[in-house]
Amino acid sequence: MLTKFLKSPRTIGAVTPSSESLGQAMTEKIQQNRHDKVLELGAGTGSITTQILKRLSSPRSLTCVEINQCMCLDFRATFPSVRLVEKDCREIGTIFAGQKISNIVSSLPYRSLPRSTTDEIFEQKISLANSQTIISLFTYDFIFSSYHRRYPIQLIDSCSVFFNFPPAKVYHYAI
Ligand SMILES: C[S@@+](CC[C@H](N)C(=O)[O-])C[C@H]1O[C@@H](n2cnc3c(N)ncnc32)[C@H](O)[C@@H]1O
């Protein structure tokens, strides 16, 4: 992951995969045995995917999206039964149109992204969500998130995860 980060730091966004603790905090709102879809945006090498799968009765409930071709190759080798869409997450709207998505799990958008990209990613997430959907987001920035003031989402819970490099903040939003 470090090599990939050095090649394209703005896209990869992290030098190491997320820890198990961060994966657990990011997935704690996934209700086991529901039959809705879980969506992970920016799956990377799959450290959070592993935690998502622990909470699902079938890997078919999960769809992951990843833009980086090398990450996708590694991901497919590790998770052959998980559907992976190799695409920019800002362009996935039509693929999931009409599907019920219970959870959207992601570190995207990073705080370092331009405002226009952040707007596009949130628009995309909100367009896929319904009143039951939980949007879970982590960031390495400990400045309190104001996304719920900028977008039509409600902050329902948050926590800090210190067992991660770097430490991270997790936010859970509802529509
Ligand atoms: C910070 S890494 C997180 C990887 C993994 N989920 C984890 O927590 O260890 C973010 C991932 O998002 C991917 N990514 C960045 N921009 C993206 C975009 N627009 N669409 C889809 N994936 C993107 C990067 O390639 C990278 O694998």
Q: How far apart are CA 143 and CA 149, in angstroms?
A: 14
Query: Measured in angstroms, how far is the CA atom of residue 71 from the centroid of ligand 1?
Result: 9
Helix and strand numbers (H, E) in the chain are 8, 7
- Name the strand (E) or helix (H) holding 84: strand 83-86
Domain residues for the domain of 13 are: 2-174
* Tally of structural domains, the chain: 1
Instruction: Determine if ligand 1 sits within 6 Å of the CB of residue 129.
Output: no
Ligand 1 centroid, distance to 167 Cα (angstroms): 17
pLDDT of 21 reads 97
pLDDT (tens digit, 9 = 90+) per residue, 85-115?
999 999 987 788 778 899 999 999 988 899 9
- Minimum CA distance residue for ligand 1 atom 18: 88
CATH of the domain at 86: 3.40.50.150
Q: What is the pLDDT of residues 10-53, one digit of tens each?
A: 666 666 899 999 999 999 999 976 678 999 999 999 999 999 99
pTM comes to: 0.94
Contact 62/96 with Cβ under 8 angstroms? no
Residue nearest to atom 3 of ligand 1 (CA): 44
Cα–ligand 1 centroid distance for 43 (angstroms): 6
CA of 122 relative to ligand 1 center, distance in Å: 15
- Is any ligand 1 atom within 6 A of the Cβ of residue 17? yes
Predicted local distance difference test score (pLDDT) of residue 42: 96
* Residue carrying structure tokens 């052959």: 80
